[in-house]
Amino acid sequence: MWYYSTKGKSPAVTLKEAVLRGPAPDGGLYMPESLPSFSGSYLRSLPFKSFSEISFEVASAFLGTDIPSDVLEDIAGEAMDFPLPLTGLQPGVYCMELYHGPTMAFKDVGARFMARLMSYLYRNMDRPLNVIVATSGDTGSAVASGFYDVDGINVVVLFPKGRVSRLQQLQITTNGGNIHPLEVDGNFDDCQWLARTILADEELNHQFTLTSANSINIGRLIPQSFYYFEAYARLQGSTAPVFSVPCGNFGNLTAGVMAWCAGLPVRKFIASVNINDVFPKFLDTGRYSPAASVPTYSSAMDVGNPSNFERLDFLMGGMAVNFRESIMSWSFNDKQTADAIRGVASDTGYIMDPHGAVAWLGLKEYAGSTGFSGPGVFLETAHPAKFPETMEEILGKYDFVPPQLSKLEQGQERFTPVPCDAEAVREYLLSINR
């Protein structure tokens, strides 16, 4: 299978090149030349399959021409070794918990799969691979955990100073080994800009192999489509569900749209965002205007220029009207988020995290404006215990600490502070590759 840039101005590449490159040279993002097409009978068989079967079969449909079947089965099986339970919360409202992986955020799904895919694709190469990743919190920890101790791979994590939670910071900075955290004096957009600048640096690319682990990487995006199939399976193949997705860089939503393009029945996607509302504004006006990001409770969604907009736009043929047919989008502020968390906790006893709460609000808004009665699935992308300060502020008291997180406190933090300056990151990269 060939992979094409969304901008159409660079040559088509193999999966290996697409995964190792991250963005295409023309600034576009890679997409497979064609998407699989799942038959009706396959879709009807889904309720009888386990998540590991589904992951493997969906992975094969997307990547089967590039990776031998037994290798893909191992990669999918090892990456998806945690449950993704779908629970009915309220009439017609289901919550899919994507956060039972090692770092307790849904990014474990993509990062674990991609780490194994890269290490397979990169086997037998003679110089180290440098993975560059910008994070608003959860990506860095998931990528650090997914790549920890993988031979021949250095990981440089750029995280914004003072903008990640204490636990996220521990998850990024206590790995050691081949994981190199850089604390950037700037916000997430600055980190993302630095990562893009370094990845595009010709001289560096000449000296070593550089790649991105952000959701712009197709190797991270594809596995995120697995759980949309899983949700449909666990709903027993009922009528097409609505998915409400808490969006930041829009990788999660894009993976859902890819699943839908491949035939998965979906009634509507809801792109639920916090007050970083470039996307709903785009749907309203047809104009896409990136803006500086604003901090909110759902910090992993504080993105002013979502990187996967490029891919969505490509899938939608560049037409706002096509977007409007399949995707609706609303923005919610911190007060609405906090009220939702308190309301659902007192009605059902279920504690949502701020990201999942934004998705819950999106589903509720959709039901309110259309009379839709279900099934609607909102994606819970992180465990609330990842944000103890915020949860305590909202609920008054929150002190649950799952085992994955409690053991972090014993770790030793190691990171290097850098200014928001590509030269400093370059120097650092040279120093770890000496």
Ligand X SMILES: *Cc1c(COP(=O)(O)O)cnc(C)c1O
Q: By the criterion CB under 6 A, which residues form the site for ligand X? A: 105, 107, 138, 215, 246-252, 300-301, 355, 381-382
Nearest CB to ligand X, comparing residues 145 and 249: 249
Chain-centre distance for alpha carbon 196: 17
Chain-centre distance for alpha carbon 205: 25
Nearest CB to ligand X, comparing residues 219 and 251: 251
Q: Which helix (H) or strand (E) holds 362?
A: helix 354-370
Nearest CB to ligand X, comparing residues 209 and 244: 244
Closest C-alpha to 362, from 227, 259, 370: 370
Q: Smallest gap, in angstroms, from Cβ of residue 137 to ligand X?
A: 7
Whether 175 contacts 144, CB under 8 Å: yes
Within 164-234, strands assigned E span: 179-185, 209-212
Q: Smallest gap, in angstroms, from Cβ of residue 339 to ligand X?
A: 19
CA dihedral (381, 384, 387, 391) positive or negative: positive
Q: Smallest gap, in angstroms, from Cβ of residue 127 to ligand X?
A: 30
Nearest CB to ligand X, comparing residues 231 and 247: 247
Residues in the chain: 434
Nearest CB to ligand X, comparing residues 174 and 214: 214
Nearest CB to ligand X, comparing residues 73 and 97: 97
Chain-centre distance for alpha carbon 415: 24
Q: Smallest gap, in angstroms, from Cβ of residue 62 to ligand X?
A: 17
Find the residue with minimal CB distance to ligand X: 138
Number of H helices, E strands in the chain: 20, 13
Task: Compute the distance between CA of residue 396 and CA of residue 388 in angstroms, rounded to an integer.
Answer: 11
Nearest CB to ligand X, comparing residues 105 and 204: 105
- Structure-token pair, residue 206: 């000449």
Q: Smallest gap, in angstroms, from Cβ of residue 70 to ligand X?
A: 30
Q: Smallest gap, in angstroms, from Cβ of residue 221 to ligand X?
A: 9
Residue type, 350: Y
Q: Smallest gap, in angstroms, from Cβ of residue 216 to ligand X?
A: 10
Nearest CB to ligand X, comparing residues 66 and 97: 97
Sequence-distant (≥ 6) Cβ neighbours of residue 23 within 8 angstroms: 29, 30, 196, 199, 200, 212, 216
Sequence-distant (≥ 6) Cβ neighbours of residue 251 within 8 angstroms: 110, 215, 216, 220, 221, 224, 307, 308
Nearest CB to ligand X, comparing residues 223 and 248: 248
Pairing of strands 268-273, 327-331: parallel
Sequence-distant (≥ 6) Cβ neighbours of residue 346 within 8 angstroms: none
Q: Smallest gap, in angstroms, from Cβ of residue 355 to ligand X?
A: 4
- Structure-token pair, residue 213: 């682990």
Q: Smallest gap, in angstroms, from Cβ of residue 307 to ligand X?
A: 8
Peptide bond into 403 cis (omega under 30): no
Three-state SS for 261? helix
